[in-house]
Amino acid sequence: LWGLDVYENGNNLEISSTPAKGPAEALEKGDRIMEVENVPVRTILDFQQQLNKSTEKTIRIRLARGDRVWVKRLEKGAITYAV
């Protein structure tokens, strides 16, 4: 997804690697994906289902890094993933 590798870690969905360039380059290994379009996600399946449900061009993803929580907007057209 946007060149990200994600994995499930307990009740968290975490980023394991990010692209050097592109829409997700500001994200870092260990960032936690908390929500997609204001819907909590805990698994890769949750994440994919919420991405597919959205009809918006830009997807809002709530992330956490340590104590910092923020929303990143990513273009849906940039999404690629294998199921």
Q: What's the confidence (pLDDT) of residue 2?
A: 65
Summarize pLDDT for 21-52 with one digit per residue, the tens. Answer: 666 778 889 999 999 999 999 999 999 899 88
- In sequence order, what DSSP letters do the residues of 34-76 get, joined into one string? EEETTEE--SHHHHHHHHHH--SSEEEEEEEETTEEEEEEEEG
pLDDT band for 83, please (50, 70, 90 cuts).
very low
Residue 81 predicted with pLDDT over 50: no
- Give pTM, 2 decimals: 0.83
